[in-house]
Amino acid sequence: MAQDPLVVHAIINGEQVPTKRRYARENPANPEEIVGYGPLNTQEEAIRAIEAANEAFPTWAATGLDERIERMRRAIAQLKEKTPELAQLLSREHGKALYDAEGEFGISIMWMEYACDTVKDVLQDQDQVQEHDNGKTIITSDAIGVVSAITPWSYPFSLSTIKVAPALLAGNTVVLKPSPFAPLAVTKTMEIISKEFPPRVLNMVHGEAEVGVELTSHPKVAKIAFTGGTNTAKHIMKAAADTIKHMTLELGGNDAAIILPDFDVNDERDLRRLVISNFLTAGQICMLAKRVYVHRSIFDQFIDNYVVAANQWIRVGDPFNPKVTVGPVNNKRQMEYVQSLIDDAKKRGAKVIELGTVLDEELFEKGYFMRPTLVLGAGYDDPIVVEEQFGPTVPILPYDDEEQAIQLANHSIYGLTSSVWGDPEHAIRVARRIEAGTTMINTAAVQGLDVRFPFGGVKQSGIGREYGAEGLRSYVETHVINVPKHLDLPYIPE
Ligand code: NAD
């Protein structure tokens, strides 16, 4: 049901700042409906936000860890209360099915709580004093400074809180910039969080590259925490080079799934799990299985059973319909890009099989909907296989032996996650040889994600890790205070 458009603002100096310029965010299921308006901030406003965060930094960094945790827990309690309405807003502006939006909130709150529970242990070397044969050494974990957090539209709540929570807990201050393709729920979330912290500790601006460039080049920004495309990250690294900033980059992926000959093609739950790892959020997750390699000995049977499983699970339609598992694609540009990859595959001779059912044909025609598809007969180097599709289509290809499967999986500029399906011990042996930040066995994508362990990519999928202890530690730097007993070196002449 259409509602009045929501208007959100930047948050600078603890205040919501109205702006002259704004952009509309439409509902991808029904683009005629405007869900809300986000501000188009200027470079000057970005600078004000950075300066506010910079002024707040010394006091916030000196604030005790207990108080920081207490404030974050209060924010989490409110987010839990507001989850139903925030998830609905996210679903309307993003296009992901409501259960999927609720899942995003669930996993993010789990991570925020984990960060609160563990931050003391993880940063336990704060003020750790070591007495030794050459005197005394104190090792502290110091906050880094102002963090620019820049996030994409695919998981806007998750990928923002995954940065904001550890950054603030570790004593940093933050300027967050979300994507214009899903700015509303995340802004309402940051309004809630920022109220629990002293003014200026958490700031937020909106906009595109102009604001982004300021956030990544300003000398008072000490760290960039970025999730988004690999090409954008190249601009960011260049912008940050002049002032040598800390960086955590979570980038694109083209995750391979290898189906071993000992995979049970009749296991319906396994097949359903694989289908979900291909099509959840209409294929728009960095860590989905985006190309599947199946051993030739089981290929035909696998495809038959996969199509049955996909047809059962995939129900495309209105994100608010509880029967729907796959909503529209988030935006027109993405829809056209994915379609161009499918058209290209067809031109090269591939067979494209439509999957699932469309529950509401009329809405389907109106919105940015795509019929999920399986691509058979593509070449190993075709764009549909080597590019990150980021949409509801998946190529499935045969391989002949294990070496070839490993080679194909590693034949990519990316290395975010991957998965191996079959006998677990056999799968682990293969997994050890895959170039990726995470390899899951008999599951993939968010289904296998565990917030207690680090997440991130190798190769052009990123630098650094989020989640787990490593995710927290990436927001501090080690500071050694040495008090040596022997102050003069014996070999230096008097
Ligand atoms: P994007 O790179 O286009 O945009 C990401 C963010 O960067 C947005 O807020 C955008 O406004 C901002 N931006 C654009 N130009 C900028 C510049 N020059 N300087 C600073 N900021 C700039 O990505 P997207 O289309 O929003 O998201 C899709 C991509 O994100 C996919 O490649 C996907 O794989 C990746 N992703 C990665 C992960 C991960 O954890 N590795 C998670 C989700 C999405």
* pLDDT tens-place string over residues 412-450: 999 999 999 999 999 999 999 999 999 999 999 999 999
Q: Residue 25 and residue 11: Cα distance in Å, rounded?
A: 19
Lowest-confidence segment of 122-131, 178-187, 292-301 by average pLDDT: 122-131
Q: Residue 156 and residue 284: Cα distance in Å, rounded?
A: 12
Locate 492 and state its tokens.
């230096």
Give distance in angstroms: CA of 152 to centre of ligand 1: 4
Q: For residue 1, what pLDDT band results from cuts at 50, 70 and 90?
A: low
Asked whether residue 128 carries a pLDDT value surpassing 90, the answer given is: no
Looking at residue 131, what is its pLDDT?
93
Looking at residue 384, what is its pLDDT?
98
Asked whether residue 3 carries a pLDDT value surpassing 90, the answer given is: no
Q: Residue 442 and residue 282: Cα distance in Å, rounded?
A: 21
pLDDT average, residue stretch 196-223: 96
Asked whether residue 2 carries a pLDDT value surpassing 90, the answer given is: no
Instruction: Give the relative orientation of helices 98-122 and 65-94 as an angle to the nearest 10 degrees.
Output: 160
- With vertex at residue 129, the alpha carbon angle to CA 127 and CA 132, rounded to the nearest 5 degrees, is 160
Evaluate whether 172 touches 143 at the Cβ level (below 8 Å): yes
Catalytically annotated residue among 26, 250, 435, 466:
250
Q: For residue 494, what pLDDT band results from cuts at 50, 70 and 90?
A: confident
Q: Number of helices (H) and strands (E), helices first, in the chain? A: 15, 23
Q: Residue 371 and residue 295: Cα distance in Å, rounded?
A: 27
Asked whether residue 260 carries a pLDDT value surpassing 60, the answer given is: yes
Locate 69 and state its tokens.
């945790």
Q: Residue 26 and residue 488: Cα distance in Å, rounded?
A: 69
Looking at residue 377, what is its pLDDT?
98
Catalytically annotated residue among 286, 387, 388, 435:
286
End-to-end CA distance of the chain, in Å? 85
Looking at residue 209, what is its pLDDT?
84
Asked whether residue 158 carries a pLDDT value surpassing 90, the answer given is: yes
pLDDT average, residue stretch 98-118: 97
Locate 421 and state its tokens.
């399906």
- With vertex at residue 79, the alpha carbon angle to CA 75 and CA 162, rounded to the nearest 5 degrees, is 75
Looking at residue 236, what is its pLDDT?
97
pLDDT average, residue stretch 378-386: 98
Give distance in angstroms: CA of 150 to centre of ligand 1: 8
Q: Whose CA is nearest to atom 19 of ligand 1?
A: 212
Give distance in angstroms: CA of 67 to centre of ligand 1: 33
Other Cβ atoms closer than 10 A to 178? 28
Q: Which of 40, 151, 227 to mutate to test the pocket of ligand 1 (most atoms within 8 A of CB)?
A: 227
Q: What is the Cα Rg of the chain in Å?
A: 24
pLDDT average, residue stretch 377-391: 98
Other Cβ atoms closer than 10 A to 335? 20
Give distance in angstroms: CA of 120 to centre of ligand 1: 31
- Mapping DSSP to helix (H, G, I), strand (E, B) and coil, where does residue 369 land? coil
- Mapping DSSP to helix (H, G, I), strand (E, B) and coil, where does residue 14 land? coil
Residue with token string 């690999």: 230
Residue with token string 């991808």: 28
Q: For residue 125, what pLDDT band results from cuts at 50, 70 and 90?
A: low
Locate 298 and state its tokens.
């089981």
Q: Whose CA is nearest to atom 9 of ligand 1?
A: 179
Give distance in angstroms: CA of 228 to centre of ligand 1: 2
Q: Residue 392 and residue 338: Cα distance in Å, rounded?
A: 8
**Amino acid letter for position 315:** R
Looking at residue 267, what is its pLDDT?
98
E-strand ranges in 111-201 read 128-132, 135-143, 146-150, 173-177
Q: Is 445 left (phi over 0), alpha (psi -120 to 50) or beta?
A: left
Percent of the chain with pLDDT strictly greater than 70:
99
Sign of CA dihedral 402, 403, 408, 409: positive
Evaluate whether 318 touches 20 at the Cβ level (below 8 Å): no
Q: Which of 236, 286, 465 to mutate to test the pocket of ligand 1 (most atoms within 8 A of CB)?
A: 286
Which is it for strands 22-27 and 30-39: parallel, antiparallel or unpaired? antiparallel
Pick the closest to residue 286 from 158, 192, 401 (CA basis). Answer: 158
- Mapping DSSP to helix (H, G, I), strand (E, B) and coil, where does residue 286 land? coil
What letters, b where the CB count within 10 A reaches 16 and e where it falls short, cover 21-48?
Answer: ebeebbbbbbeebebbbbbbbbeebbbb
Which is it for strands 476-484 and 135-143: parallel, antiparallel or unpaired? antiparallel
The partner residues of 16 in beta bridges, in order of sequence, read 11
Q: For residue 81, what pLDDT band results from cuts at 50, 70 and 90?
A: very high
Q: In what order do the strands lie in the sheet with 255-259?
A: 351-354, 373-376, 393-399, 289-295, 255-259, 417-421, 438-441
Q: Residue 352 and residue 349: Cα distance in Å, rounded?
A: 9
Q: Whose CA is nearest to atom 14 of ligand 1?
A: 209
Other Cβ atoms closer than 10 A to 76? 21
Contacts of 139 by beta carbon, 8 Å cutoff, 6+ apart: 125, 128, 130, 478, 479, 480, 481
Which is it for strands 246-250 and 357-358: parallel, antiparallel or unpaired? unpaired
Ligand 1 pocket list (CB less than 6 A)? 150-155, 159, 177-179, 208-209, 212-213, 216, 227-229, 232, 235-236, 250-253, 286, 388, 390, 416, 457, 462
Backbone angles phi, psi at 409, to 5 degrees: -60, -40
Locate 33 and state its tokens.
């409906």
**Whole-prediction pTM:** 0.97
Q: For 194, what's the count of Cα atoms within 13 Å in the CB-facing half-sphere?
A: 26
Does the annotation mark 286 as catalytic?
Answer: yes
Q: Residue 463 and residue 223: Cα distance in Å, rounded?
A: 13
Q: Which of 108, 111, 154, 254 to mutate to test the pocket of ligand 1 (most atoms within 8 A of CB)?
A: 154
Asked whether residue 187 carries a pLDDT value surpassing 80, the answer given is: yes
pLDDT average, residue stretch 268-280: 98
Q: Which of 232, 250, 254, 449 to mutate to test the pocket of ligand 1 (most atoms within 8 A of CB)?
A: 232
Ligand 1 atom, smallest distance to 181 CA: 26
Give distance in angstroms: CA of 251 to centre of ligand 1: 7
